[in-house]
Structure 1
Amino acid sequence: MFIAWYWIVLIVLVVVGYFCHMKRYCRAFRQDRDALLEARNKLFRRTGEDSRVARDQE
């Protein structure tokens, strides 16, 4: 069976568009994940310092 050239072009455009969208989405997800991880680590460091100061005062 013959597939018209415009269907092939349409499929290629959809695949390329999906690839570019996922690449950008994954990069944004990675940046969000890194920001959340950094905030969590900062919070744990601050909490650890507070408990250390309280232990030192006792």
Structure 2
Amino acid sequence: MRKRSVLKDQIEQGRQELSRLVDQYGIPSVKVLEQSMALDELINEYNRFTTEMNMNIEK
């Protein structure tokens, strides 16, 4: 469970950083794109982790 809560915290921090970058640089910015991609990776990792947990529960 610890990994799940860590990922959730990292996702929230990533969202806040993305919002800050959008405010500072605007949407068409390389920095915004990079942060958006990093956030996508965290969300994908979270989804893989929760899917894996659910599959283990169903066994």
Distance 1:4 1:18 in 2: 21
Distance 1:15 1:4 in 2: 16
Higher RCO structure (Cα 8 Å, ≥6 apart) = 2
Tell me, in whole angstroms, the C-alpha distance in 2 between the residues paired with 1:5 and 1:29.
36
Question: Hey, what's the Cα distance between the residues in 1 that align with 2:34 and 2:42?
Answer: 12
Q: Which has more radius of gyration?
A: 1
CA deviations on 1:7-48 (whole Å, 9 max, x unpaired) are 0011101111100110011000000111xxxxxxxxxxxxxx
In structure 2, runs of 5+ residues without a counterpart are 1-26
Q: How high is the sequence identity, in percent, across the aligned residues? A: 0
Q: How does 1:1-58 map to 2 (within 5 A)?
A: 3-34=28-59
Q: Which runs of 4+ in 1 moved over 6 A?
A: none
Aligned pairs, how many?
Answer: 33
RMSD between superposed Cα atoms in Å:
1.3
